[in-house]
Structure 1
Amino acid sequence: MHSLRLRPARDEDVPAMAALEVAAFLDSPMHRAMFPKRLRIKPGIQDQLEWNISRMRKGLSDPNLHHIVVLTEAPEKGEIIVGCAEWSAPAAEECEAGEDEEEGKTNEEKAKDMELRLARLPPFLDKGALLDANDEVMELIEKSKDAFQGENRHKMWTLNSISVDGDYRGIGIGKMMTRWGMERADHDKTGIWIISSSLGQQLYKSLGFRQVAEGSRMGEPQYLMLKFYDPGPEHNGTSTAARGAR
């Protein structure tokens, strides 16, 4: 029986979190497409590790992002990180204003912005694969538009990534980190949306999420899972079931 402890991630956790995420997704089609051998600069997985460390350290300073880790005691190792996740909280008003401004740009201006963003990415990252994957995600979101029933997805919580150590799967770590976000969403009285691979699909369904759209990313099946805020029968608000019947 493993004793598990969840807490917010710290800067000193980042190398272990980065290694855990790389190991969890190393064989995924998305990972292979983004980090092809032909663009490799350093041996093995060093490029991926450095990219994850940089991205996670930047994320820790973003007040809208919440990184969490799950720890357990390992023989002869002490306490180790066996799970990590990144949640996005509902967007602040200034973020929404920025998104509205982005929507108002011409296609030429958007293309220029994208060109500048891509130029800042490291050379070992396949920029074409990244753009293709982003387009596929946006297609999946567009497919699910009606399922949001007018709710602004930027005003909802979303799970950006979740990784579990392969030696510790099946003991509730993924569920523990998902419930963390569900509790925050309930506190904020908002829903949650998640883009899941086949691996997490059943977990989210078991926690009350509904699959509302299906697509793929770099050849890997992807599912958009949605869970509206439900105040429960003891409140006078509209329940999930009632909303679905509108």
Structure 2
Amino acid sequence: MFQLHPLTADDLPALVDLWYDAFSIPINLRLFPDTAGVRAWLAAYHRASLERPDQHYLKITADSASSPPLVAMVKWDFNTTAPGHRFPVWHADSDRPFCDDFFGSMDEARRTIMGPRPHYYLDTLLTHPDYQRQGAASRLIRWGCDRADHDGRPIWVDASPEGAALYQRFGFRDVSVPGITPEGAISMLRDPVVMHS
């Protein structure tokens, strides 16, 4: 039923649509209001990221003609020697001080726990509401976990409270830093599983 493929620039309009289908919660809409300007900003941000070889975008599609163009997508960041989000200047429609504080706090928590330790970062994971709990997101998480285990790298994710249970099933644990990890996020870490030959 589900197909796994690399995500391409042609998928960006569908990615932005999926972003708002999956992330229409108050905190996300404060960070990224659903306006034409922010939608264009998101598309431009992901277009630039797609061109970087250390950013890995994957998509899940479904065979059904009634399925949305993207059932799920993930962005994996494998360049984390200096952990931190690399967003362009926030769009004017966003709450810029709130964005700086929220993402800055997440990055500070990651630096506090990881320091210079190399790791992979699960940057974005989106699943269409009609396809949640059907295995699409798990397939995208498993892809990164397999790569991390092969490479001996831990994985960091800034999870929503709703998503934390899914990550726990893959071995992630809550390492939130009191007073630093922002409200609405959970800092989570997964150590690599040693591969035996």
- Equivalent positions of 1:86-165 (< 5 A) are 86-91=75-80, 96=81, 120-141=89-110, 145=113, 148=114, 152-153=116-117, 155-165=118-128
Structure 2: runs of 5 or more not aligned: none
Question: Which digits, 9 at most, give the CA deviation of each residue in 1:194-236, with x for residues without a partner?
Answer: 111112111111111122225653x42x21111112215x47x
Question: Is 1:160–1:194's contact at 8 Å kept on the other side of the alignment?
Answer: yes
> Which TM-score applies when normalising by structure 1?
0.69
Is 1:83 aligned with 2:46? Answer: no
Which residue of 2 is the match for residue 213 of structure 1? Answer: 176
Question: Is 1:67–1:86's contact at 8 Å kept on the other side of the alignment?
Answer: yes
Larger radius of gyration: 1
- What root-mean-square deviation, in Å, do the aligned CA atoms of Structure 1 and Structure 2 show? 2.4
Question: Is 1:74–1:80's contact at 8 Å kept on the other side of the alignment?
Answer: no
Question: Which digits, 9 at most, give the CA deviation of each residue in 1:144-202, with x for residues without a partner?
Answer: x2xx5xx734x211100110000111101111110111111122221111111112111
Report the structure, 1 or 2, having the larger helix content: 1
Q: Which amino acid aligns with 1:12?
A: D
In structure 2, relative to structure 1, the CA distance for the partners of 1:213 and 1:34 (3 Å cut) is: closer
Measure how far apart 1:90 and its partner are.
3.8
Question: Is 2:55–2:79's contact at 8 Å kept on the other side of the alignment?
Answer: no
> Which TM-score applies when normalising by structure 2?
0.85
In structure 2, relative to structure 1, the CA distance for the partners of 1:87 and 1:165 (3 Å cut) is: same
Structure 1: runs of 5 or more not aligned: 37-43, 100-116, 236-246
Q: Which amino acid aligns with 1:198?
A: P
Q: Which amino acid aligns with 2:57?
A: H
1:54 counterpart (39, 44, 64)? 44
CA separation in 1, counterparts of 2:94 and 2:68? 33
Which residue of 1 is the match for residue 7 of structure 2? Answer: 9
Question: Which digits, 9 at most, give the CA deviation of each residue in 1:89-128, with x for residues without a partner?
Answer: 144xxxx5xx5xxxxxxxxxxxxxxxxx87x443222211
CA separation in 1, counterparts of 2:39 and 2:150? 34
Question: Which digits, 9 at most, give the CA deviation of each residue in 1:49-72, with x for residues without a partner?
Answer: 212111111111011111110000
Is 1:73 aligned with 2:70? Answer: no
In structure 2, relative to structure 1, the CA distance for the partners of 1:129 and 1:229 (3 Å cut) is: same
